[in-house]
Structure 1
Amino acid sequence: MDMNNQIKDYSTFISKRGSLKKPSPIREIIQLVNLPGMISLGGGLPNNSTFPFKSLTVELKDGTSLELKGSDLDEALQYSASYGLVKLNKWLKDLQVRNHKLNAETAGKEWNLLISNGSQEAISMAIEVLCDDGDSIISEQPTYSGTLSILRPLQLNIVGIEIDQFGMIPSKLEDTLANWDHSKHKFPRVIYLIPTGQNPSGSTMNLERKKALYNICSKYNLLIFEDDPYYYLQFGELNDNSSDTKLDLGESLISMDVDGRVLRFDSFSKILSSGLRLGFVTGPQYLVEKIQFHEQSASLHASGLSQAVAQALLYRWGFENWDKHLLSIQNFYRQRRNTFISLIEKHLKGLVEYNAPTAGMFVWMKLNGVTDTKSLISEKAIEKKVLLVPGIAFYPDQTQPSPYVRASFSVATEEQMDEALKRLSSLIKDQ
C-alpha cells in the first residue's frame, strides 16, 4: 500500500446536515471548567450537592468491588465533555495504539476517539454527518439489520455486495464500482463493513481479504466504516485445539489505514455489558470532531455513570487483566460454538448448509429446499416455540426472498439448543 491516495480534504465527504453541525458554545465551555485556576460562571451545571447519591459500589465476580465516591462520583453524576470522561478516553486511546498501530503522539491531532452511548449511536451519528438523502452507500449483503434501520429512513441507495465465509467479495465490489451507472445514482462515498464474526453471517475477513478491500476503497476514494463489535470474540477454527494463553486479534482495517479513510466502531456490549451502552468511534480527527458536534446536539455525552464504572474497572485491571478477561470470553464462546455445531450435525445434517464461524455468536444457515424462510421462521417456527431470524431481515432489498436463517448460540443452554434444532429439523422436513 502506498500513500498516493491519502485524503487531504475531508470536507468533500461531509453531508449537508453534517456541514451545518457547529460546536455548542456551552458544550465547548465544559471542556475548560477543570483547567487550573479557572473560575466558571459560564456553565449551566447543576450543583452536585443537590444530588441524593453519596457513593456507588459495584461488586465484581472475582470478589472485589469498585466504589465511586467523592470527586469520582461527582464527575460521574455531572455533565461532562462530549468526547467522554478524560481518563476513560485516554485509556481507550492507549488501547487503540496498542491494538491498531495508531500513533500515540498524534492522538487528538491526526486521529481522535469519541465515547458514545453504544456503537449503534456512533454509527447513526456518522451516517448523519456523511450521508445525504439520495446518496449511495455500499454494504455487505446480508448485513446488520440495526444499521439498515438507520439507513432506510434516509432514503439512501443501499447497494449490497455478496459475501462468502471471508466477508465481502472483492471482485464483486470492484465490478460494481467500475461499472457504476452515474446517471441513475450518486457514486458512493462510504462503505459499511463488519469484518469479524459478521452479523448475521458469522463471516470473518482474513488479512488478504482486508487488504484487497482496502485497496479497492483507496482506488475509488471511499470512506470505510469498520464496525467491529465482535473483534474481541475471536476463537479460531472448529478443530483448533491449541491452548489460548496469548491474545492474538490480528490486523484491523484501521491498522492498515495509510490514507486516513477508516472510521472504526468498537463496543463494550459483548465484553463488559450491553446495558452499560458504551461504544467508541476512532478515526481521522476531522471526521470524529464532526461526529462530536452531532453528539453535542443529540445526547450531550455518553452516560457518566456507565463511563465511570468502566473507567474504574479498566484502570483497576490494566491491560494484563483486560487480556485475561478477553481470553476467558473467547474460550466461553468457543465452547458454545463447538457445542452448537455438533448439534447442527446431529439434527440438521443434509438439511442445511453453513460455515462454522471463527468469531462472534451467529451461525448463518441455508435451508435446503426452502426458497424463502420468512413465513417458516416468522410463523411456523414461532408456533413450534423456537426463535430464529429469517434471512430477509438482513438484506437491503427486503423484497428479495432468502433461504437463510440466523441462529445465535450465545444464550441458550445446551439442552435448549438441542431441542430448538430438533424442532427446526422437523419444520424443514415438513416443507
Structure 2
Amino acid sequence: MDYGRFFSQVALRREPSAVSTLRDKAADKKTPIIWLGGGLPNPSLFPIQDATVTLKNGEKLIIGKELMVKVLQYSSSKGFPPLVQQLQQLTEDLHQPPRMCETGVVVTMGSINALSMAGNMLLNPGDPIIVQEPLFSGIISALLPYGPKLIPAATDDEGIVPSLLRETLARCGDCPAKVMYVNPTANNPTGVSMSEARLREIYDIACEYNIIILEDDPYYFINFVEDLPTSFLKLDTEGRVLRFDSFSKTVSAGIRLGYVTGPQPLIDIMTVDIMSSVGHASTLAQVVVSELLNKWGHQEYLNHVYSLREEYRKKRDVMQKAAEKHLAGLCEWKLPSGGMFFWIKVLGLEDTQRLINEAATRVGVVAMPGCYFVVRREEPCPYIRVTYSVASPEEVDRNCTSECPRPLKATWITKPRGSASHVDQQVMWISKPCGSASHVDQQATWISKPRRSRCHVDLDATWGVADVLWIYYPRGLPSQMLQATCCGLLPTSRRHPRCCPTSWRHNVCLTSPRDVF
C-alpha cells in the first residue's frame, strides 16, 4: 500500500534526529558498546539509585541499581525495548492482526498525545477528516490546530451508520477524506459499542474510499457486552488501521502511557515526530508497566482488567437506578454498554450549558454540557455527559436530584388574560424558547400565556433547600428564580418585583436574577 498520499506536508519535511537515531541503534544492540556519540549524562552522578513500587496485593516491583541506570538515562524514541516487545506480543494475542509482520508499535505519552501526532502526520490545513459524532471533546481539541475540516459521521445505537457514512463521503466531492476517526468500544460520551458486523461494514467502506482508520479504543477492556470485542486492527487486511491503546484506564491515568500499533511506515513517521519533540515517553513510567507485566504475565493482566470491568459495571448500575428514580420523564438515555459515562438528553431543553455551568455548579455538581462533544459547538445541544467512575452511590443519587429541573404540581389560579382555559397537571418548567412567551413541557398540554399575562401559581410540593426551579415569565416581565425552602409559609402578600403583581404561596422564596448570575 502506498502511504505517500496520506502524509501531510509537515510529515514529509520531517527528518530523524541524528543523535536519537544513534541511541535507537545502540538500544537494539545486544553486545556492550563504547558510547562516544551524543551527550549522555554520566549515570554514576544521578542522585536516585533504586526504587520499590508496592502493589495493592502487597507484592513489590523492585527497580534495582542496574535497571535504574536505564530508567534515568535517555532511551529509545520507539519506547523502552522490553516494553515494546511485550506490547507487540500482547497485541498479537488480543487482536491477531492479519499483517502482524508488517506492523510496528511505538510508545507514547497517552493516547491523546498519539492522536495529536497522527493529526500532524496526516492532515494539511483544509483536509477533511471523518469523525464519529458525538466524540470526546479532547479529540476535537487535539485535531483543530492542524486546520482540518471536521466532518461528522452520523451514529445510531451501534455506532457509525454505514449508509449515512457513504452519503457523507460522496458529498466530499473533489476533496475526498483520507482519514476517519472512530471510537468503537464504549464510545465517549455515548457508551455505544460497535458490533463486529458493523465494524466490517465500516472497514469495507474505508477500503473502497482508500481511508486510514484512526481506531481510538481506550475503553476496550471496560466493555460490559462481550468478553473482548473485535477490533478494526483484527480485520485489517490492507494495512489501513492505526490503533491507539492506553494504560490510563487500566493501570494509571497519571502515568501518561499509551501505545500505537499500525503499518510500519506510519509508525516510523510518528517515531520521527517523537524524536524531534519529546524524545521519548517517560522511561520510569515505561519500566513500571514493563515490570508489572513481567510479574503478572498477560493472563494475570487480563484478570486485572476483568475485575476492573466488573467494578465499573456495578457503578454503571448504581447510576442507572438513580437515573430511573429521579430523571424518568425528565430525561432520556440509553444504558451504556461500557466505559464510564451516561449520555443524557434533557427533554424540553434546547441547550444544557446554563443548566450545567450555572445551576449544577451552584449546588456542587460538575458535569459536561453536550455541546463540547459535537463538531459544531456553537449550536445548542440538549445533552449532558455524566460519569459514574468515581462518585459514591450517595453522591450519584444526590447528583441526579440536583442536575435537572424538578417537576411540580401547578394549577393556574387566575386564567391568563385572553386565554379560555387553564392547566392543572404535572408539569416541568423549562426556560423560555427564543421568540415565544413561555413554555411548559412534560405530561401537560401547553396553553400559551399572552405576552402581558398576570397570574399566580399555587405550588403543591415541599422542596429541599438545594432544589431549584427556573421560571421564565412572559416577554416584558422580569425573569425570576424560584427556590423552594422548608421554612414554612410566606405571607400571600409577598409579591415579586414591581411590574408583576403575582403572589406565591407554599414554601417559596423569590430571588432576583442578579443574586444568582
TM-score surpassing 0.5?
Answer: yes
User: How many residues align structurally?
Assistant: 408
Between stretches 338-347 and 145-154, larger displacement belongs to 145-154
Displacement, 1:427? Answer: 5.5
User: Which residue identity lines up with residue 117 of structure 1 in the other structure?
Assistant: M
Q: Residue 293 of structure 1: SS of its match in structure 2?
A: helix
Query: Which one of 67, 71, 87 corresponds to residue 72 of structure 1?
Result: 67
Query: Which one of 182, 192, 200 corresponds to residue 203 of structure 1?
Result: 192
User: Which residue identity lines up with residue 133 of structure 2 in the other structure?
Assistant: Q
Q: Deviations over 1:235-286 (max 9, x none)?
A: 23xxxxxxxxxx8202100100111100000000000000110000000000
Percent sequence identity over aligned pairs: 38
Q: Is the 8 A contact 1:381 1:427 kept in 2?
A: no
Displacement, 1:401? Answer: 1.1
Q: Deviations over 1:104-142 (max 9, x none)?
A: 971xxx110000011111111111011011111110111
Q: Is the 8 A contact 1:94 1:104 kept in 2?
A: no
User: Which residue identity lines up with residue 80 of structure 1 in the other structure?
Assistant: S
CA distance in 1, matches of 2:356, 2:137: 16
Displacement, 1:388? Answer: 1.0
Q: Is 1:58 matched with 2:50?
A: no
Query: Which one of 7, 24, 47 corresponds to residue 31 of structure 1?
Result: 24
Aligned to 1:342: 321
CA distance in 1, matches of 2:311, 2:156: 26
Aligned to 2:375: 396
Q: Is the 8 A contact 1:97 1:103 kept in 2?
A: no
Aligned to 1:43: 38
CA distance in 2, matches of 1:87, 1:153: 34
Q: Mapping of 1:272-283 within 5 angstroms? A: 272-283=251-262
Q: Is the 8 A contact 1:347 1:425 kept in 2?
A: no
RMSD (Å), alpha carbons = 1.4
Note closer, same or farther for the CA distance 1:302–1:405 as it changes in structure 2 (3 Å cut). same
Displacement, 1:326? Answer: 1.0
Q: Is the 8 A contact 2:119 2:146 kept in 1?
A: no
Q: Residue 405 of structure 2: SS of its match in structure 1?
A: helix
User: Which residue identity lines up with residue 362 of structure 1 in the other structure?
Assistant: F
Q: Is the 8 A contact 1:112 1:284 kept in 2?
A: yes
Q: Is the 8 A contact 1:143 1:200 kept in 2?
A: yes
Q: Residue 153 of structure 1: SS of its match in structure 2?
A: helix
Displacement, 1:166? Answer: 1.3
Aligned to 2:76: 81
Aligned to 1:331: 310
Displacement, 1:26? Answer: 0.3
Displacement, 1:371? Answer: 1.1
Query: Which one of 8, 11, 18 corresponds to residue 11 of structure 2?
Result: 18
CA distance in 1, matches of 2:251, 2:205: 35
Q: Is the 8 A contact 1:391 1:403 kept in 2?
A: yes
Q: Is the 8 A contact 2:98 2:236 kept in 1?
A: no
Q: Deviations over 1:162-190 (max 9, x none)?
A: 212211111111111123243xxx32110
Q: Is the 8 A contact 1:314 1:322 kept in 2?
A: yes
Displacement, 1:315? Answer: 0.6
User: Which residue identity lines up with residue 142 of structure 1 in the other structure?
Assistant: P
Displacement, 1:385? Answer: 1.8
Q: Is the 8 A contact 1:97 1:104 kept in 2?
A: no
Displacement, 1:44? Answer: 1.6
Displacement, 1:39? Answer: 1.6
CA distance in 2, matches of 1:252, 1:102: 9
CA distance in 1, matches of 2:99, 2:241: 17
Aligned to 2:105: 113
Q: Is 1:227 matched with 2:216?
A: yes
Aligned to 1:132: 124
Query: Which one of 340, 343, 347 corresponds to residue 364 of structure 1?
Result: 343
Bigger Rg, which one: 2
Displacement, 1:430? Answer: 4.3
Q: Is 1:162 matched with 2:176?
A: no
Aligned to 2:396: 417
Note closer, same or farther for the CA distance 1:293–1:196 as it changes in structure 2 (3 Å cut). same
Q: Residue 113 of structure 1: SS of its match in structure 2?
A: strand
CA distance in 2, matches of 1:346, 1:423: 13
Higher RCO (Cα < 8 Å, 6 or more apart): 1
Name the TM-score, length of structure 2 as normaliser: 0.77
Q: Is the 8 A contact 2:356 2:403 kept in 1?
A: no
Displacement, 1:154? Answer: 2.0
